[in-house]
């Protein structure tokens, strides 16, 4: 069951991840085609798809590096990012060559089928340096994307922790009030349920509690409704309940 739930959550992420690289391939292929550099459009798309496919393979490694080294001081983290940029600029041109080697073994032709320069030859180094002008900004974009996602996740977790802490504090305040007034857990069950399910929603909280109390099997008569805040203030109202169909102050 847990594995199925995790798979259900990860599937849309992988679809979005693959879709992002396909979108980049389409955008830049259209740019090449409309500028007249590569025709027809399928050939331009194949060329760009090979390039962005290589980055689709490299990006998880960059994410992993950022996740492992993020807690380091900036004096060590920044050189690590720079070293990662150099490694990515070297590895990216190797992936199309590996793909071309695999195609030659399988007698296939997917993407640009021109013969690439031998590995680490002078022509290969020249091409690597030329493509680095594009690879380095792409690498920087991948790193920035990871940091943006990380900051968003940390902010969301802090908000969740703050809400949980606030809920615990509200429950503690409710228990202190119950103890001081000599009430039972059943007497404050509606307040406890609302705080547990919705947290402190400020002024409307008391009306949520009142709604639950009116729907419950509690006696008619005079009810005392009280709320605390803002600050150290306290408010109260005496209600006369008849038939639990309405509350009149």
C-alpha distance from residue 241 to each of 16, 54, 204, 210, 232 (Å): 55, 71, 19, 11, 28
Same domain, 153 and 190: no
pTM value?
A: 0.65
> For residue 60, is it within any domain?
yes
Sign of the alpha-carbon torsion through 210, 215, 219, 222: positive
Q: Which residue range forms the structural domain that includes residue 209?
A: 184-248
> Which pair of tokens denotes residue 109?
């032709």
Same domain, 48 and 92: yes
d(CA 93, CA 147): 25
Residue 222 three-state SS: strand
Looking up residue 204, the CATH number of its domain turns out to be 3.40.47.10
Per the structure, how many domains does the chain have?
A: 2
> For residue 70, is it within any domain?
yes
Same domain, 192 and 132: no
Unique residue bearing structure tokens 């615990």? 168
pLDDT at position 246: 46
The pair phi, psi for residue 222, each rounded to 5°, is -90, 130
Same domain, 39 and 126: yes
Same domain, 134 and 23: yes
Same domain, 91 and 199: no
> For residue 194, is it within any domain?
yes
> Which pair of tokens denotes residue 15?
């679809």
pLDDT in tens, the chain (249 residues): 445 655 666 788 889 999 999 999 999 999 988 988 888 888 888 888 888 999 999 999 999 999 999 888 999 999 999 999 999 998 888 888 787 776 666 555 555 556 666 766 777 778 778 888 889 999 999 999 999 999 999 999 888 887 777 777 777 777 887 787 777 877 778 888 887 777 777 777 888 888 888 887 777 788 888 777 666 677 788 888 876 554 444
> Which pair of tokens denotes residue 247?
């509350």
Same domain, 50 and 133: yes
């Amino acid at each position: 069951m847990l594995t199925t739930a995790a798979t259900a959550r990860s599937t849309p992420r992988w679809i979005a991840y693959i879709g992002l690289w396909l979108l980049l391939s389409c955008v830049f292929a259209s740019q090449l085609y409309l500028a007249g550099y590569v025709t027809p459009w399928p050939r331009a798309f194949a060329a760009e798809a090979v390039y962005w496919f290589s980055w689709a393979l490299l990006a998880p490694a960059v994410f992993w590096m950022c996740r492992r080294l993020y807690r380091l001081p900036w004096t060590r983290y920044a050189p690590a990012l720079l070293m990662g940029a150099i490694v990515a600029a070297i590895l990216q041109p190797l992936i199309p060559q590996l793909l071309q080697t695999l195609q030659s073994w399988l007698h296939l032709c997917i993407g640009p089928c021109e013969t690439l320069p031998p590995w680490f030859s002078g022509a290969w180094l020249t091409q690597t340096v030329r493509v680095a002008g594009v690879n380095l900004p792409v690498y920087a974009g991948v790193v920035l994307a990871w940091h943006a996602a990380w900051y968003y996740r940390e902010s969301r977790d802090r908000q969740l922790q703050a809400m949980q802490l606030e809920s615990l504090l509200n429950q503690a305040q409710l228990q202190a009030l119950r103890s001081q007034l000599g009430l039972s857990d059943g007497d404050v069950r509606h307040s406890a349920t609302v705080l547990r399910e919705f947290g402190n929603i400020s002024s409307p909280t008391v009306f949520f509690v009142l709604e639950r109390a009116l729907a419950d099997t509690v006696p008619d008569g005079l009810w005392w409704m009280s709320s605390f805040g803002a600050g150290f203030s306290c408010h109260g109202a005496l209600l006369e309940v008849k038939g639990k169909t309405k509350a009149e102050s």
